Amino acid sequence: MKVLTKNTDYAIRALLALAAKKGSYMSAKSIAIEHDIPYQFLRRLLQEMIRHNLIVSKEGVRGGFMMQKDPDEITVTQLIEIFQGKVQVSECMFRKQICGNRANCVLRHEIMRIESVVQSEFEKVTIGKLLRDLEAANQVNPTAATIS
Amino acid sequence: MKVLTKNTDYAIRALLALAAKKGSYMSAKSIAIEHDIPYQFLRRLLQEMIRHNLIVSKEGVRGGFMMQKDPDEITVTQLIEIFQGKVQVSECMFRKQICGNRANCVLRHEIMRIESVVQSEFEKVTIGKLLRDLEAANQVNPTAATIS
DNA sequence: CTTAACTGATACTATATTGATATCAATTAA
DNA sequence: TTAATTGATATCAATATAGTATCAGTTAAG
Ligand code: FES
Ligand code: FES
């Protein structure tokens, strides 16, 4: 069971790159090269993130993408929802005859409880937090390349 | 993002049926009909569960499947691992140049922390617990069919 | 005012995973 | 002997994931 798929993974990397270059535009090409992300694939992900107002773009020469939303406001939960759909454990595990009373179904409650736990765990992880963690790690271990 | 796939879902239902009929054999056919599970699909799941010593089978007329392992010892985490592979958030999100020190990588730590939270949440849910919850619900709401 | 570096939009292909079905041999209770 | 069953596989269909290609439109810079 793989929780994060490539698109979410790539989106996180791209956002970290943009967050590090906050205020200036960065082309899809340079992000792709820097983070080993398939170029055309990345471009689609970036456009999707524009639609969700996470980033903005500028067309033409010296154009590119720039952070729009505060990195501390972008959670992994949001990114999962954008690229993999809403986190849900199971639609409805048992057929109606068994769970006559869907609203009060204990099984359903159990499922929903887990759903909210999973969601809230991923909500704790923001792009801002990841970036700070990364920068701290690079100070401790300066031989590693920086993200920008 | 769908956490439980059909095979895990069906396996849970089948185990609940067998747990309720503890001590006697139940055919794949009757489980399939009772729980609206595609018959041949279910048979493969049952065989997989035999291989993992969760259940046992008896061949021939009046044969079938019977609970082997204590239902309280069967967790949803185990079933996810059997049918969907081990829960893992992300193999390794960033390339080596960035995470020069893989063992101490903060991002990796974050990922592993979430992995263990997800796993432990599903570990709290056992077949035994689900069955008791279900029986309790049916007492409160006796118009619903029983699981057995 | 032309050109090259860009994004916007979308169509397409390949591969893997998930979900489901089919077949036939072996076993066994009646 | 027969019908109800499991064991073991093979096959297929649908969907999701991953990646590629193309072309039109925009714009900074020479
Ligand atoms: S599991 Fe679906 S209503 Fe109870
Ligand atoms: S994310 Fe892979 S080692 Fe840090």
Q: Count the neighbouring beta carbons within 10 Å of the beta carbon of residue A52.
A: 14
Note which residues in 29-48 of chain B have CB less than 8 A from chain A: 35-36
Mean pLDDT within B108-114: 77
The rounded mean pLDDT for chain A is 85
Say how far apart CA B40 and CA B29 lie, in whole Å. Answer: 9
Q: What is the mean pLDDT of residues B1-20?
A: 92
Amino acid in position B9: D
Q: Once rounded to an integer, what is the mean pLDDT over residues B24-53?
A: 96
Mean pLDDT along residues B69-96: 85
How many angstroms is C1' of D25 away from CA of A60? 9
* Nearest protein residue to the C1' atom of C8, measured from CA: A47
CB A104 to CB B1 under 8 A?
no
Per-residue pLDDT of A33-50, as tens digits, reads 998 899 999 999 999 999
**Residue B9 contacts A, CB cutoff 8 Å:** yes
Interface check for B2 against chain A (CB to CB < 8 A): the answer is: yes
pLDDT at A103: 59
Pick from A4, A80, A147: which is nearest to B98 by CB? Answer: A147
> What is residue A30's predicted lDDT score, i.e. its pLDDT?
97
| For residues A128-146, average pLDDT | 72
Domains and CATH numbers, chain A: 1-69 (1.10.10.10)
Average pLDDT for B55-72: 98
- A102 secondary structure, DSSP code: G
Q: State the average pLDDT for chain B.
A: 85
Compare A84 and A133 and report the one with higher pLDDT.
Answer: A84
For the CA of A1 and the C1' of C16, the distance in angstroms is 13
The lowest-confidence range among A63-72, A135-144, B48-57, B117-126 is: A135-144
Residue A93: the pLDDT is 60
pLDDT > 90 in chain B, percent: 55
Is residue B53 pLDDT above 60, yes or no? Answer: yes
pLDDT score, position A89: 79
Read off the DSSP letter of residue A35: H
Neighbours of A33 (CB within 10 A): 11
pTM of the full structure: 0.88
For residue A141, give the ligand nearest its CA: 2
Query: Could you read off the pLDDT of A51-94 as tens digits, one per residue?
Result: 999 999 999 999 999 999 999 999 999 999 999 998 887 766 65
pLDDT at residue number B60 = 97
Helix, coil or strand: residue A96: coil
pLDDT at position A47 is 98
Q: Which of B8-22, B70-84, B97-111 has the lowest mean pLDDT?
A: B97-111
Ligand 2 shell residues, CB under 6 Å: B 92-94, 99, 102, 105, 107-108
Residue B21 has pLDDT above 50, yes or no: yes
CB nearest A106 (choices: B100, B110, B133): B133
CB of B107 within 8 Å of a chain A CB? The answer is: yes
| Interatomic CA distance for residues A127 and A18, integer angstroms | 10
pLDDT tens for each residue of A83-118:
999 888 776 665 544 555 555 566 677 778 888 888
In angstroms, what is the C-alpha Rg of chain B?
Answer: 19
Give the pair of three-digit tokens for residue A77: 């939960």
The region of weakest confidence among A11-20, B12-21, B139-148 is B139-148
